[in-house]
Amino acid sequence: MEWLVAIVIGVMTASGVYLVLRARTFPLVLGLTLLSYAVNVFLFSMGRLQVGQAAIISPEASGYTDPLPQALVLTAIVIAFGMTAFLIVLALKARSELGNDHVDGMSYVAEEQAPKSKADQT
């Protein structure tokens, strides 16, 4: 099972990193979202995997999983949302200020595909 989770983390990281390296803002934000899933699951897995041992104190419980990584990841999920929201609005702002959605602004667009960007805007 551990291998399965590790592979999932790895694949999410790889996809996330690939998207983060793209030249447009929207894929970049998606990439960061994927990457934050990967990071959250990675952090969570630092508490090792346990089945059916939620950290809810009760006399019937057979044991408890490590609650600390969970607490860290819980806030990380919320902060990741805040970051995603900030970034996507930054992307909108850049679009409105620069007229395109390239991560570096105007300069690269002209050489890549001048006619297409106009088509996109309509």
Partner 1 sequence: MLMDLLSFNLPLVALIPFFGAPLAAWAANINRVASAWAAGLVTLLSLIMLMPAMSIPFAGETLIQSWSWLPALGLDFAFRLDGLALLFSFLILLIGLLVILYARYYLSPGDSMGRFFAYLLMFMGSMLGIVLSENLIQLVVFWELTSLTSFLLISYWQHQQDARDGARMALAITGAGGLAMLAGVLIIGHIVGSYNLTEVLAAGDLIRQHDLYLTALVLILLGVFTKSAQFPFHFWLPHAMAAPTPVSAYLHSATMVKAGIFMLARLFPALSGTEAWGWLVGGAGMITMVLGAYTALFKHDLKGLLAYSTISHLGLITLLFGFGTQLAAVAAIFHIINHATFKASLFMVAGIIDHECGSRDMRKVNGMLKYMPHTAVLAMIAASAMAGVPLLNGFLSKEMFFQQAVTASGGNILTWAIPVLVTLGAIFSVAYSLRFIHDVFFNGEPVGLTKTPHEPPRFMKIPVDILVLLCLGVGMAPMILVAPILTVAVSASLQEAAPAYSLAIWHGINLPLIMSFIAMGIGAVVYFNRHKLFRWHDENLPRIDARTLFNMCLHGLLVATGKISRLFDRGSLQNATSWVLLSAVVAVVAGYLQFNSPLLGDRNLMAVDVLTLALAAFVILASVLCAVLHHQRLVSLIIVGVVGLIVSLGFVKFSAPDLALTQLSVEVVTIVLLLLALFFLPQHTPQERNASRMTRDVVLSVSAGVSVMLLAMAVMSRDYAPISDFFIENSKPGGGGTNVVNVILVDFRGFDTLGEIVVLALAGLGIFAMLKQLRLPAPLRDIQGREWSHDPHPPIMQTLTRLLFPLMLMVAVFIFLRGHNLPGGGFIAGLIAAVALISQYLANGIDWTNQRIRADMHVVTALGLSAAVVTGVVAMLLSHPFLTSTFTYLKWPLVGKFEIASAMAFDLGVFLVVVGATVLILVELGKLSHASHEMQQQERY
Rg for the chain (alpha carbons), in Å? 20
Per CB under 8 A, which of residues 47..66 are in contact with partner 1? 47-58, 64-66
Site for partner 1 in 76-95 (CB under 8 A): 77-86, 88-93, 95
Residue 106 as a binder of partner 1 (CB under 8 A): the answer is no
Q: With residue 29 as reference, give the H or E element that holds it.
A: helix 25-45
6 near partner 1 (CB under 8 A): yes
98 binds partner 1 (CB under 8 A): no
Q: Under the criterion CB under 8 A, does residue 5 sit at the interface with partner 1?
A: yes
What is the closest distance, in whole angstroms, from the C-beta atom of residue 119 to partner 1 in the complex? 9
Q: Which long-range contacts (CB under 8 A, 24 or more apart) does 29-32 make?
A: 29/84, 29/87, 29/88, 29/91, 32/83, 32/84, 32/87
